[in-house]
Each structure stands twice: as structure tokens, then as C-alpha cells.
Amino acid sequence: MDATDRLFLFFALGSLVQAVALVRGSWNWRKFLGALAFGLMGPALESKLHLRPSQSNMLYCILFTGAIAVNFRKTLLPRVNEKILLAYTVVFWYAFFHFLYRPFWFYNCAVVVFLLPTLATIALSVTESQLDFRRKLFFYCWYLLMVVFMVAFQFSFSYLTVFFKGSVVSGTPLEAVLAGMAFCYMVVNITYIVHIFPIKDPEESHESCMKRWKHWTDLMTGRYDEKSQLTRAQALGIVLLLVGFLLANGKYNFMSAATAVNMGILVPLILMPGDVPEIPPQKPEPDEDYDVAL
């Protein structure tokens, strides 16, 4: 077993640990084992796709985490509050400038686009305003997009390069575990981004599509906790703490930038509210009980 394969084992361990942590409050052996079985379908695809061993390892993780996201998609819907939004916004900008930004017009346009939800998040953190459905959905979408972008920025030249380019991965076991945990969290959130848009199935009516969209957006806005609003002092404290840590890491290299971003994704999860207002009863979707459990 070479160094790359060894790191992938730790990467897979991180994905497994994060999956267990996410579903522990709504544990279901059938669904969890079904996700594991789905992940083990990798060997059946390995020969057909002519994958290298390193690519097969990543495929197992993608299949497993994707199955976890589908099987537990309603119970995993994240809770969000002002603290997590502000913390993620700071880490998002660090990841954007470190991994992606180049002095080119396209990236400058992206800066302008991302500034809009950033300024809205800052305004939310220093005011005591009640949010309506549309603004809750806006901030929830911003949260989901930040999670996906933060992981995608770093994976574009890190672990996922093995899957697409066959390069060699370097790092420590701890970095690999944190990367696997962040990857699992990203895959889970990708499944919810799909539900943001009212995409109509080929044989679905417009009315049915809009009902399904309203069903999911109601769930999302119901997971926004408006009771734990930040004071100006708390908002300033979160910004100063995170900015100070990221700037110090950039100067003294306590850890790699990818590990710092992964910690920025995972550690603020402790700021998630332990309880949220009760979500109004929803009419079940036709495929509500569908999963990939075998």
C-alpha cells in the first residue's frame, strides 16, 4: 500500500465518521447499511470505467456519501443560524482568495456577486430584524452554496485530482480525515441545492413541480433559527477570532490552507442551534420513503 492509498483510507474514515455524526440523531440501520452496500458497488463500475485504484477509492466515497445524503435527506437538513452564517462567510472568503481568485475580470465579477450575500449577512448580524420566507430561503441558499464552494475550491487541486487526473496526494492522516469529513458534508449539502430550483421532471406537471418545490423550501426555511440572533459584540467577536486565526495561519503555517478551511467548515458546526422552532407538518412526497438501501 503506497502513501496515496494510505491517505485515502483515512479520507474514507473521515467520510464514515462524519456520516455517523450526521445521522446519529435519526439512526436507521437499514438505510445506513444500504448506503454502505451502495458504496461497495464501486468494483462493479471499476472494470467498466477502467479506473485506477486511486480513482476506485474516490468512487467508493462518492457512492457512499451520496447514498447517505439520499437516504437521510430530510433528517440531515442542516439547522442554520446567524452565527454559522457569519462564520462560514469569513471562511468562504479566505478559501475563495486562497484557492481560486486570480486578477482577471471573471474573478472580479465573482467578487461583486459574492459581496451581495456577504453584506446581507453582515447586516443581518448587527440588526434585529425578523425574516420572512424569502429572506430565510435566501440565507439558507447562501449557506448551502458556501459549503459546496469552500470544499470544491480546495478539492479542485487536492484529493479530487486523483479521480480526474491521477496525480499523487500528499498530506498527513489528520488532514485526510478532515478532508473526508468535509467532503461528506459537501455531498450532503449538494443534494439540498438541487431542491432549491423548481426543476420539472419530464412527465411531471407544473403544479406538481411547484408543490414539490414548496415542500422542500418550507423545510429549509423551517430549519432557520431566528431566535439566536447575534449582538453586535458577538458578531465582532466571531469575525475577529476567525480572521485572526486565518491570517496567523497564513503567516506562520500552523496547518495547510486546505486543513484550515476544513476546520472552518467543521468547527463552526458547534454554533448550530440544538433546537429550532417546530416545522409545520408537510404533506409527504410521492417518493418520500425512497432510498438506495438494498
Q: Which domain holds residue 130?
A: 3-271
Say yes or no to pLDDT of 100 above 90.
Answer: no
The answer to the question of residue 279 being in a domain is: no
Alpha-carbon distances of 123 from 82, 126, 135, 221, 279, rounded to whole Å: 10, 5, 12, 19, 26
Of the two residues 97 and 43, the one the predictor is more confident about is 97
The answer to the question of residue 292 being in a domain is: no
Say yes or no to pLDDT of 69 above 60.
Answer: yes
The answer to the question of residue 57 being in a domain is: yes
d(Cα 64, Cα 58) in Å, to the nearest integer? 10
- Residue 51 has, within 13 A of its CA and on its CB side, a CA count of 19
Q: What percent of the chain has pLDDT over 70?
A: 80
Q: How many domains does the chain have?
A: 1
The answer to the question of residue 286 being in a domain is: no
* End-to-end Cα, the chain, rounded Å: 31
pLDDT digits (tens, 9 = 90+) for 172-228: 788 888 888 888 888 888 878 877 888 787 788 888 888 888 888 888 888 887 776
Nearest one of 157, 144, 149 to 256, comparing CA atoms:
157
The answer to the question of residue 294 being in a domain is: no
Q: pTM score, two decimals?
A: 0.79
- For 42-63, b/e burial (b = at least 16 CB within 10 A) is beeebeeeebeebbbbbbbbbb
**HEC-encoded secondary structure of 23-73:** HHHHCCHHHHHHHHHHHCCHHHHHHHHCCCHHHHHHHHHHHHHHHHHHHCC
Nearest one of 279, 117, 84, 269 to 184, comparing CA atoms:
269
| Helices and strands of the chain, counted as H and E runs | 12, 0
The answer to the question of residue 188 being in a domain is: yes
The answer to the question of residue 52 being in a domain is: yes
Of the two residues 136 and 152, the one the predictor is more confident about is 136
Helix (H) or strand (E) segment spanning residue 214? helix 206-222
Nearest one of 192, 103, 184, 94 to 143, comparing CA atoms:
192
Give 117's pLDDT tier (boundaries 50, 70, 90).
Answer: very high
The answer to the question of residue 91 being in a domain is: yes
pLDDT of residue 290: 42
